[in-house]
């Protein structure tokens, strides 16, 4: 029998930061939440989550940022499949 594959536990703080950014009643929390969300997305290589956050206007959606995230994801996946 093959070894069981253990899936990583998702970072559950990311949805909390995303939710904070969507709440207009707490603008004083937005800077910290935005920084934490971006750092978490980058650390966990979660480009699709960035796309979701940008679609809900929690994070900026620019062509440059989406290209940068797409390129990072491709490099990450190519390193996993080729290494």
22 falls within a domain:
no
| Predicted local confidence at residue 52, as pLDDT | 87
| Domain presence at residue 67 | yes
Full pLDDT tens readout for the chain, 83 residues: 567 888 778 888 999 999 999 999 989 999 999 999 999 988 888 888 888 888 888 888 765 555 565 666 566 555 555 44
CA distance 62 to 21: 18
Residue 4 resides in a domain:
no
Q: How many domains does the chain have?
A: 1
Residue 59 lies in a domain: yes
- Residues contacting 47, CB < 8 A, separation 6+: 41, 69, 70, 72, 73
- Whether the CB-CB separation of 47 and 59 falls below 8 Å is answered with no
- The C-alpha atoms of residue 17 and residue 15 are separated, in whole angstroms, by 5
23 lies in a domain?
no
C-beta of residue 67 within 8 angstroms of C-beta of residue 42: no
> Considering the domain boundaries, does residue 31 fall inside one?
no
Range of the domain at 74: 47-83
């Amino acid at each position: 029998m093959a070894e069981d594959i253990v899936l990583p536990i998702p970072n559950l703080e990311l949805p909390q930061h995303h939710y904070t950014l969507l709440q207009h009643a707490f603008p004083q929390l937005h800077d910290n939440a935005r920084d934490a969300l971006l750092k978490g997305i980058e650390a966990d290589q979660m480009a699709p989550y960035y796309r979701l956050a940008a679609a809900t206007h929690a994070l900026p959606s620019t062509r440059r940022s989406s290209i940068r995230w797409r390129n990072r994801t491709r490099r990450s996946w190519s390193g996993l499949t080729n290494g």
